[in-house]
Amino acid sequence: MTRFRVSAACSIAVLLLGVPIHSGDAIAGMLAPVEPAKENAPYARVYLALRGCTSCAHCRSAIRQMVRSGAGSGTARVTTDAVEVRYSKGPVPLRDVIRRLAENRLHDLTLVDVLFEADGTIARSPEGDATFTLRGTRQSFPITLAPSLAKSDRGQPVRVTALVQGWREKGELKLVAREIRRES
């Protein structure tokens, strides 16, 4: 009991009076300023926008299971209106992740939109078509670039945020670039 009183009194004195703390003190470690950890952007992210029941525990659990079964090495996080799947390395089974939620059998759940964010390079074919290739893999997707995003420095490492099209049909997935940032 006495130890508690002494440590509590020391803590209060430090906080109220600004008593200097020496690095050897036990309290110094507890009161050292904590800097928030910088979160590095993952290798890739898939955002799946949802409409419908995502608030009840049963539906959230079912959504997590559907996403995990198609996400491969990705980790999923479910919010009230979306699912975010993060990848620390490639490849990204984009079609599988999307299909699991798009073909769900829940009574009131609809996949509305899909955004994809990843590191890679953009290259143009001789015909003028652009392709986005994920960094460190041979996985690539056709990509549409708005004139404001089409720059001459293609082939450089970039971070692309794009809307995914074609997931409602059985055909090829296509990206529509929304933002392109050069990686440094």
Task: Write the pLDDT tens digit of every residue in 80-112.
Answer: 888 899 999 888 999 998 988 888 777 678 889
The answer on pLDDT for 36 being more than 70 is no
Extract the runs of DSSP E, i.e. beta strands, from 109-165: 109-124, 130-134, 140-144, 158-165
Residue 59 shares a structural domain with residue 19: no
Token pair, residue 146, equals: 């708005």
Residue 146 shares a structural domain with residue 55: yes
Residue 171 shares a structural domain with residue 139: yes
d(CA 84, CA 46): 6
Residue 164 shares a structural domain with residue 92: yes
Residue 63 shares a structural domain with residue 133: yes
pTM: 0.72
Domain hosting 120: range is 44-182
Residue 125 shares a structural domain with residue 177: yes
Say if 157 falls within a structural domain. yes
Residue 19 shares a structural domain with residue 104: no
* Total tally of structural domains belonging to the chain: 2
d(CA 102, CA 67): 10
Residue 102 shares a structural domain with residue 132: yes
Closest residue by Cα to residue 114 from 61, 64, 55, 161? 161
CATH number reported for the structural domain that contains residue 86 in this entry: 2.40.50.500
Strand, coil or helix: 52: strand
The answer on pLDDT for 4 being more than 80 is no
- In the block, residue with structure tokens 């392109």: 180
- Using the Cα atoms of residue 136, residue 139, residue 142 and residue 144 in order, give the sign of their dihedral: negative
Amino acid type, 140: S
Closest residue by Cα to residue 120 from 172, 70, 45? 45
Mean pLDDT of 130-158: 84
Report the pLDDT value the prediction gives residue 154, as an integer from 0 to 100.
64
Residue 94 shares a structural domain with residue 167: yes
Residue 70 shares a structural domain with residue 19: no
